[in-house]
Amino acid sequence: MSALDPALLRPGRFDKKIRIDAPDLEGRRDIIEYYVSKMSHDESIDPLTVANETPFYTPADLKYLLNESLRYALFEGRTYMSMRDIRMAQPEHEYGVRSPIKNLAAEDKYRLAAHEGGHAIAVRLFTPEYRIARITIIRQGGAHGYVRYYPATEDYEYTSTYDTLMNRLRVAAGGKAGEMEFCGDGSQTLGVGVGWGGFQRFWADSCRPVHDGKCWHVRADRRRRQNARPKQRRRDHRCQSDSRNARTHGRNLP
């Protein structure tokens, strides 16, 4: 909606805006049943199980996942897909192409295992409402390893509390804690590339309410600036410039 010209959204053109969220558990199960019924598959595929393991997937995501699963089966010489094919295709859809490192040193494997294990333990300790679906140290896309977890119940969260944000930070720091515990002080990664994405996601979640204007004082200040007259805005800018000049001249005084 933000990419459209505001003139297109005037009354009389688009009077109603309908929000369509991602399907819930029952909706995903129905979508999966529809697509699976048109594909060759064995009895191991349970639409409800697949729906449980694909939270927040859109119909397009589900269709792509099943198509990729069938492609995995065809590459192995089978004309039908199984639950194993779906679980092989899902990480590629979420993280990228699987590309194991053949000559990875044993010390690096141990360090990666400690790092991802630290994340997994932090998830169980600080976010028990989440369930862990996958832990691996095999490179997938740009990640050398990852812990895949998602909420056990799909409750819509409009607000985030301080405790929620702090627990996310603890989970992001869990990888570093695992390295400190099992690898020693001098055998830790620098955090860039390994675990840094967790901190980026945390800060993105922390700053999103401010950027979206959900804080009342941010909205009030933004509204005041938008409604200010041009002369008032110029006067405010001139006062700020005078203040900066005064500080500059003050620093240059002997």
Spatial neighbors of 40 by CB under 8 A, at least 6 apart, are 70, 79, 80, 81
Q: Which two tokens stand for residue 10?
A: 């005037």
Distance, in Å, from the CA atom of 94 to the CA atom of 85, rounded to the nearest integer, reads: 15
Catalytically active residues are 116
Cα angle: 97, vertex 192, 136; to 5 degrees: 40
Tell the burial category of 63 from Cβ atoms under 10 Å away from its Cβ (0-12, 13-18, 19+).
Answer: middle
Gyration radius (Cα) of the chain, Å = 25
